[in-house]
Amino acid sequence: MIVILGIGLAGSLVAACGPTAVVSSGSGIPPTTSKPLGAHPPSTTSAPSATSTTTTTSPKPTVPPGQPLSGKVVGIDPGHNGLNYTDPSIINARVWNGREDETCDTTGTETASGYTEAQFNFNVAQYLSIDLQAEGAKVVMTRTNNSGVGPCIDQRAQILNLAGSDVAIDIHADGGPTSGRGFAILEPVADGPNNSVVSSSETFGSDVKSSFLSVTGMPVSTYDGTDGIAYRDDLAGLNLTTVPKVLIECGNMQNPTDAALLVTTPFQESAATALAQAITTFLTGSK
């Protein structure tokens, strides 16, 4: 079952015609650097298309047997969107991030060859959704494709909150210094809306770090946070969350070694597998 959802003016989930969010019931930050708005269309020649990620290549069956996540709701936010660069009037609009105003979103970063972060995020999210549904989870995504604009960062948090997610993950890739490598887990700092989930988010972040390190082989970041963990108070997705949530920078698109991994289907599948395992560990208490 696939249900398209959106955010109504009163802040409630309502049926919508556009690709704002998707809830799938299975049986079985902005980055450090961003492309300027209005720049040339991003290249996706080295990336699998949104269609191929779900129809021609499937993740390897590495999820636990049975349906350990039956009855659970998992939120996934693939950061940015593939056409954000086409509409500066929307993307540059100011929104409240829980502490201050900032822009609705950015275009995200990209590799030197033009492979976009937005495409990477969406591919991993699709693989992760398949894995989680195979475990019986209901999956809520903040966007259904990589060919749109938005939704804004505050709306993304609201979508996952209103869906009643048991846990949520924001998927990104960073645009850090070219000499820097590795993944980082960004975790919330108490600011009011997220107070009740800061501790559980920290537990979830530990699960994500352990799983990502062991499954993908990507090292922890050499430049962001401490030992792969960074506490952030400037990200709407973390400031506004009312469910346990972390943001993962899966690697540095500006680093040639990381970039060579990030653009490949095997790495994207392994990233999804790692996140699925961390989510299962967190929700079931299994180690």
At residue 69, φ and ψ (nearest 5 deg) are -105, 15
Instruction: Check residue 148 and give its pLDDT.
Output: 97
* Range of weakest confidence among 24-28, 43-47, 88-92, 178-182: 43-47
Domain range 20-284, CATH architecture: 3-Layer(aba) Sandwich (3.40)
Specify the DSSP class assigned to residue 221: P
Q: Is the pLDDT of residue 36 over 70?
A: no
What predicted TM-score, i.e. pTM, was given to this entire model?
0.83
* Range of weakest confidence among 21-25, 51-55, 99-103: 51-55
Instruction: Check residue 23 and give its pLDDT.
Output: 53
Could you tell me the two tokens for 103?
A: 């822009």
Reported as a single tens digit per residue, the pLDDT across 210-221 is: 999 999 999 999
Q: Which regions of the chain does DSSP assign to beta strands (E)?
A: 2-7, 13-15, 21-25, 73-78, 94-96, 101-103, 138-141, 167-174, 184-188, 229-232, 245-252
Q: Is the pLDDT of residue 151 over 80?
A: yes
Q: What share of the chain is helix, strand, coil (3-state, %, to 5)?
A: 35, 20, 45
- Confirm whether 269 is a catalytic residue: no
Among 110, 117, 249, 269, the active-site one is 249
Domain segments of the chain as ranges: 20-284
Reported as a single tens digit per residue, the pLDDT across 48-74 is: 333 333 333 344 445 566 799 999 999
